[in-house]
Amino acid sequence: MGTFKVKVLYDFQAEPGTAEMNINAGDTLTVTRTDVGEGWWEGFNSSKQSGLFPEAYVERISASNPPSIPAPVLPPQNNWGDDDEDDDWDNDDTMYSEIGSNNGQSQQNIYSNEQSLSQNQLANQFDNMSLGGVSTISDNKGTITKKSINIFSSYVKSGLEGYILGTSANLPVSNKKFRIYRDGDDSLGKWEVISNPYTVQIASPKKATKMGGLKSFIAYQLTPSFSNVEVSRRYKHFDWLHDRLTSKFNVIAIPPLPDKQVSGRYEEQFIEHRRAQLQEFINYMCRHPVLSTCDVWVHFLSCTDEKQWKLGKRNAERDQMVGANFCMSIDAPDKEILTSLAEPRIEDSVYYVLKLDQSIKNLMHTAQDQHKKCVNMYKREFMRIGESFFALGSAFEYNQQGMYSKASIDIKNVGSTYMMIGKLYEEQAKMDWQPLFDKLYIYKGITGSLPDILNLQKLSEQKKKECERNSQVPQTALADVRRRADVLTYTVFAELDHFQSERDTDLRQSVKTFLQEQLNFYRNVVAKLEDTLGKFD
Amino acid sequence: MGTFKVKVLYDFQAEPGTAEMNINAGDTLTVTRTDVGEGWWEGFNSSKQSGLFPEAYVERISASNPPSIPAPVLPPQNNWGDDDEDDDWDNDDTMYSEIGSNNGQSQQNIYSNEQSLSQNQLANQFDNMSLGGVSTISDNKGTITKKSINIFSSYVKSGLEGYILGTSANLPVSNKKFRIYRDGDDSLGKWEVISNPYTVQIASPKKATKMGGLKSFIAYQLTPSFSNVEVSRRYKHFDWLHDRLTSKFNVIAIPPLPDKQVSGRYEEQFIEHRRAQLQEFINYMCRHPVLSTCDVWVHFLSCTDEKQWKLGKRNAERDQMVGANFCMSIDAPDKEILTSLAEPRIEDSVYYVLKLDQSIKNLMHTAQDQHKKCVNMYKREFMRIGESFFALGSAFEYNQQGMYSKASIDIKNVGSTYMMIGKLYEEQAKMDWQPLFDKLYIYKGITGSLPDILNLQKLSEQKKKECERNSQVPQTALADVRRRADVLTYTVFAELDHFQSERDTDLRQSVKTFLQEQLNFYRNVVAKLEDTLGKFD
């Protein structure tokens, strides 16, 4: 595969007397070997010192930035890399094709409309407005894929300008369905709690076939607690949904879907794992005060009728309350936000989200690494221990007088026990490291989206200030600009607050569950050793 | 260090997709790197395929066989590589020098005497006797070091010819102090159990100094239960003792001493480990019916008087009941041994000892490997897990309203727990793998000596048959030859029986103790996880 460059994420101290090398966070390394095994890579640093270092401690540096020219539109079937079979609803095929290939087109139209709307009496005064902030929007690998294909800049796509300047279409006040409140003088906003909380269970999927078994696909059965009506959804439906959600929301962090995977997607283990990953996605959605009640999601969860499905899809695709315009549907506190209060908190949040993002990625790498080690290395180590004892016990079998040897039986038992423990390690990884990884994957997607959201708030403030400095903007218009900027700021803080509360309950609960599973595992090891020791007497 | 060749001891299956390579027992590999770390070496096989393989699965091939010409006599101080300080009993210095440099000489004299004695009326008839069997005597690395310097072949050194032909000096019958009995028709001999069993405790040694602190040495305090009188012995005394024992006994397997080590020998951990190793040596000696009562050992355990020490040493060095002649001090059953009974058992034993030797070495390698992994790799893995959780918990500390975060505390606790478990791994290795390794080291020495002993029995039978075939040997002399060969065979079977019984009790007990320690360790892990989980609520 040749060499490639990586950035060091964390310091690593080499074990003296080994082939390992010290690496420091921020260094750039050239990787020369990735097949060392057991999580090690080989490479050299800028001083040409070479050695081994943990793969989990570095991050590949992309060969190039996202292209600034339009990416070629891929044929629709290839867009659904995960699901290249025909749709289960045959009539939907054309509709899905529209989503696959023409969706970009319809998005363009939306933004084009906004563009033309924003060419109003104020907009030309912002022609020279700095868009420098846009380039600092972090590259969220979890959800950026589709975004980067869009030919419009994040800034334009955000609809921020139209929203702040009030040139986007306005909603009737009755449509302000998402309420934000303050629970204290210090509070800068919280989402109103979900009035009718619900859950959605995704059942172990089965491989279904159609056209007399010629075509097969995986359908997941979703049962929302609010209806108790099962709906059948395929990965490509999730993917369409995710695409809609990320198009619509840029002030709300959307949890990531599991990665697309082409090979092995009909294997039982893969399917069951994907089900668990989709359940994590669903859980985050259900717990989010905005996402859990937004139309496209409710449609996704409840529609069983073909015609209704088409209609809902068309509505979703025509939705104009996208990007910053979504703030128009928010019922935020009236109180004006002081920049002196909000600004340092935004700055702190930038730092804190970055720190969280790093530590989540770090633990994810550890979880992935340990998962791999449980299945391979630890299992092998314990198998080897077991085999060594077993071989000794077998050698004891023979004795001078051909007599039964208790020692041989005992030592062979020890061997069998360690081999069993080896197998336990392999099974265990599915119980602790994998669910932890899946949970962290969701949060990595969220922490990866938050910098975009924080940046949007900064751009909104910037735009507001430019209006304030501009003497041609009438005072009445200015009050509206301020109000709209405040609503966006309230939304951003409500979103930060929600994230923090999720982190403190949901992520903490996952760590607790992880610990319980680890405890079960070690208790199991203890029980096995006790049992074996008992046989000695 | 350049490349060197190794022999593959055990099959190893490479993990697919890694840099590992398959290796098969018996292959010869060329090692190109030993600094890969974590127990891996890199090299290539005869088909020039290269890759990584576990160091523990191969054995270095010695550059050359033991020299067949006399090795240069080393200066006495260098012979005592472990203890190059002056003796603690200054008057002993010359005596120790004699042992160091002139000991080989005095051995030569003994064997020379035997040689000249064996030039009697029968001996010349054996001039053409096949010594082919000698070359099959396995190279026992545990105890061979001094032997291989001797310019006489093992065969000649064994004193077997003189003993079988009855040309060695005879002992008065009253001196037959070691009795062998049969406990059934099938039995070919057992040592009479020790009438006064005893133990010897070796206390944690202290670094002592003499000559006003200019010279320092390590003195071990030995307390035999039969006297309760403490004696002080240094490693070089053990070494002298071991030398005497291996010179005297070739039908009895002598447990090996811990390896000499030049560097780090004043480090506390090394000293404590050596104490434990010497205790294992002592334990084996004390439990052996012959070794536990032999003069040189009793002298070593009990002498506190300087003059008596010298006298005892001189007696030991002048002992003529060495090699096969030792059988003259054995009171064996009168019953003649049928070759048809003994021969297949000897053949079976050769196979069984080889199998045991391999499986003991294999488990030793595993124990050493796991010891290393506990101290390095497993510790590091758990530290890394702990650090990842701790970093996440730390990132949780910051929250929007600067509030106390229970989740942060909880997750940091998880981090600390895994770091503690990492440290437990490091400490644990001293409790389970190291003692198991030390015990196996003793048994590796024994199984390494047994092929020599089995071979001696074969040579003895061979010599007996040659006498039987020789018409010039008178019938009366032939009866004595047969009797002496039988006594040697009884001795060999008694020794095999003792080994088997030790193996079934002592080695089994060690495995049990190992298991108990592992159980303690995992119980400790469970307790730590339970404690941490309890803090979540």
Question: Of B18, B19, B500, which is closest to A399 when you measure between CB atoms?
Answer: B500
- Which residue has 């270095």 as its token pair? B60
Band the pLDDT of A157: cuts 50, 70, 90: low
- The residue-averaged pLDDT of B142-153 equals 36
- The residue-averaged pLDDT of B469-498 equals 91
Instruction: Give span(s): CATH 3.30.1520.10, chain B.
Output: 200-318
Q: How far is A69 from chain B (nearest CA, A)?
A: 38
pLDDT of residue B401: 56
pLDDT over threshold 90, residue A242 = yes
Is A496 an 8 Å CB contact of chain B?
Answer: yes
Q: What is the CATH number of domain B70-190+324-537?
A: 1.20.1270.60
- The residue-averaged pLDDT of B318-326 equals 83
pLDDT of residue B151: 34
A454 HSE (CA, 13 A, CB side): 25
Better pLDDT: A128 or A300:
A300
Residue of A nearest to B362 (CA): A388
Residue of A nearest to B184 (CA): A401
Q: Is A355 in contact with B392 (Cβ distance < 8 A)? A: no
pLDDT over threshold 60, residue A71 = no
Question: Of B33, B493, B515, which is closest to A414 when you measure between CB atoms?
Answer: B515
Q: Is B363 in contact with A518 (Cβ distance < 8 A)? A: no
DSSP string, B46-96: TT--EEEEEGGGEEEPPSSPPPSSPPPPPPHHHHTTT--SPPSSTTHHHHH
Question: Of B15, B384, B523, which is closest to A37 when you measure between CB atoms?
Answer: B15
For A:169-228, CB contacts with B below 8 A are 186-188
Nearest to A414 by CA among B383, B104, B507, B27: B507
Is A404 an 8 Å CB contact of chain B?
Answer: no
Condensed to tens digits (0 to 9), the pLDDT of residues A105-139 reads: 333 322 223 333 333 333 333 333 333 333 333 33
Name the CATH superfamily for B200-318: Phox-like domain (3.30.1520.10)
pLDDT of residue B155: 56
pLDDT of residue B532: 96
Band the pLDDT of A269: cuts 50, 70, 90: confident
Cα separation, A256 vs A261, in Å, equals 14
Which chain B residues touch A523 with a CB distance below 8 Å? 526
- Which residue has 């006003």 as its token pair? B212
Amino acid symbol at B474: P
Is B511 an 8 Å CB contact of chain A?
Answer: yes
- The residue-averaged pLDDT of B103-120 equals 31
Is A359 an 8 Å CB contact of chain B?
Answer: yes
pLDDT over threshold 90, residue B34 = no
Tokens (6 digits) for A370: 């340990």
Cα separation, B275 vs A26, in Å, equals 48
Core vs surface per residue A24-56: b (16+ CB within 10 A) or e: eeebebebeeeebbbbbbbbebeeeebbbbbbb
pLDDT of residue A263: 58
Q: How far is B268 from chain A (nearest CA, A)?
A: 21
**Picking from A64-78, A435-449, B94-108, B510-524, which range would have the lowest pLDDT averaged per residue?**
B94-108
**Picking from A24-38, A462-476, B113-127, which range would have the lowest pLDDT averaged per residue?**
B113-127
Please check whether residue A157 is in contact with residue A150, taking contact to mean a CB–CB distance below 8 angstroms.
yes
pLDDT of residue A448: 94
Is A305 an 8 Å CB contact of chain B?
Answer: no
**Angle in degrees, CA B399, B403, B408, rounded to 5:** 65
- Domain A4-60 adopts which CATH fold? SH3 type barrels. (2.30.30)
Exposed, middle or buried, B127 (CB in 10 Å: 0-12/13-18/19+)? exposed
H and E: helices and strands count for chain B: 16, 12
Question: Of A376, A400, A532, which is closest to B497 when you measure between CB atoms?
Answer: A400
Q: Is B381 in contact with A370 (Cβ distance < 8 A)? A: yes
Could you tell me the strand order of the sheet in which A330-331 lies? A190-191, A178-181, A330-331
Contacts of B243 (CB under 8 A, 6+ apart): B99, B103, B146
Q: Is B396 in contact with A516 (Cβ distance < 8 A)? A: no
Tell which of A42, A428, A522 to mutate to test the B interface (max B CBs under 10 Å): A522
Amino acid symbol at B110: I
pLDDT over threshold 90, residue B320 = no
Cα separation, B532 vs B534, in Å, equals 5
Is A409 an 8 Å CB contact of chain B?
Answer: no
Amino acid symbol at B132: G
Q: Is A503 in contact with B401 (Cβ distance < 8 A)? A: no
pLDDT of residue B201: 96
pLDDT of residue B54: 82
Tokens (6 digits) for B304: 């506190």
Condensed to tens digits (0 to 9), the pLDDT of residues B240-282 reads: 999 999 988 989 999 999 987 765 656 788 888 999 999 999 9
Backbone angles phi, psi at B487, to 5 degrees: -60, -45
Tell which of A399, A424, A444 to mutate to test the B interface (max B CBs under 10 Å): A399
Band the pLDDT of B399: cuts 50, 70, 90: low
Better pLDDT: B108 or A217:
A217
Q: What's this model's pTM, rounded to 2 decimal places?
A: 0.74
**Picking from A276-290, B74-88, B342-356, B417-431, which range would have the lowest pLDDT averaged per residue?**
B74-88
* Average model confidence (pLDDT) across chain A: 79
**For the ranges A57-66, B2-11, B282-291, the one whose mean pLDDT is highest:** B282-291
Which chain A residues touch B355 with a CB distance below 8 Å? 395, 398
Better pLDDT: B78 or B35:
B35
Is A522 an 8 Å CB contact of chain B?
Answer: yes
Question: Of A35, A384, A526, which is closest to B19 when you measure between CB atoms?
Answer: A35
pLDDT over threshold 70, residue B289 = yes
* Cβ neighbours, 10 Å, residue B229: 12
Condensed to tens digits (0 to 9), the pLDDT of residues B305-319 reads: 888 999 988 888 888
pLDDT over threshold 70, residue A302 = yes
DSSP string, B454-484: HHHHHHHHHHHHHHHH-TTS-HHHHHHHHHH
Condensed to tens digits (0 to 9), the pLDDT of residues B384-398 reads: 999 999 999 999 886
Q: Is B359 in contact with A530 (Cβ distance < 8 A)? A: no
Q: Is B529 in contact with A518 (Cβ distance < 8 A)? A: yes
Is B149 an 8 Å CB contact of chain A?
Answer: no
Cα separation, A373 vs A382, in Å, equals 12
Which chain A residues touch B360 with a CB distance below 8 Å? 392, 395
* Average model confidence (pLDDT) across chain B: 79
- The residue-averaged pLDDT of A495-505 equals 91
The yes/no answer to whether this complex scores an ipTM above 0.85 is no
Band the pLDDT of B215: cuts 50, 70, 90: confident
Question: Of B52, B391, B407, which is closest to A503 when you measure between CB atoms?
Answer: B407
Contacts of A304 (CB under 8 A, 6+ apart): A229, A231
Residue of B nearest to A14 (CA): B37
pLDDT over threshold 90, residue B290 = yes
- The residue-averaged pLDDT of A451-480 equals 91
Q: Which is it for strands A58-60 and B28-37: parallel, antiparallel or unpaired? A: unpaired
Contacts of A242 (CB under 8 A, 6+ apart): A143, A254, A256, A257
Q: Is B349 in contact with A400 (Cβ distance < 8 A)? A: yes
Is B38 an 8 Å CB contact of chain A?
Answer: yes
N residues, chain B: 537
Band the pLDDT of B70: cuts 50, 70, 90: very low
Q: Which is it for strands A40-44 and A28-37: parallel, antiparallel or unpaired? A: antiparallel
Is A360 an 8 Å CB contact of chain B?
Answer: yes
For B:40-59, CB contacts with A below 8 A are 52
- Name the strand (E) or helix (H) holding B206: strand B206-210
Question: Of A188, A398, A523, which is closest to B526 when you measure between CB atoms?
Answer: A523
Distance of CA B123 to CAs A56, A533, B471, Å?
75, 58, 14
Which chain B residues touch A395 with a CB distance below 8 Å? 352, 355-356, 358-360
Q: Is B529 in contact with A512 (Cβ distance < 8 A)? A: no
Contacts of B336 (CB under 8 A, 6+ apart): B482, B486
pLDDT of residue A146: 34
Tell which of B371, B388, B507, B525 to mutate to test the A interface (max A CBs under 10 Å): B388
Please check whether residue B240 is in contact with residue B314, taking contact to mean a CB–CB distance below 8 angstroms.
no
Q: Is A533 in contact with B515 (Cβ distance < 8 A)? A: yes
Tokens (6 digits) for B145: 């070091």
pLDDT of residue B146: 34
pLDDT over threshold 60, residue A92 = no
- The residue-averaged pLDDT of A5-21 equals 80
- The residue-averaged pLDDT of A225-230 equals 93
Band the pLDDT of B211: cuts 50, 70, 90: low
pLDDT over threshold 90, residue A388 = yes
- The residue-averaged pLDDT of B97-104 equals 27
Cα separation, B368 vs B70, in Å, equals 35
Question: Of B398, B497, B519, which is closest to A530 when you measure between CB atoms?
Answer: B519
Question: Of A355, A399, A411, which is closest to B395 when you measure between CB atoms?
Answer: A355
A and B: number of Cβ contacts within 8 A: 192
Residue of B nearest to A403 (CA): B500
For B:429-458, CB contacts with A below 8 A are none
Beta strands in A192-343 (DSSP E): 200-210, 215-224, 231-233, 330-331
Is B496 an 8 Å CB contact of chain A?
Answer: yes
Tokens (6 digits) for B15: 């993990």
- The residue-averaged pLDDT of A464-482 equals 89
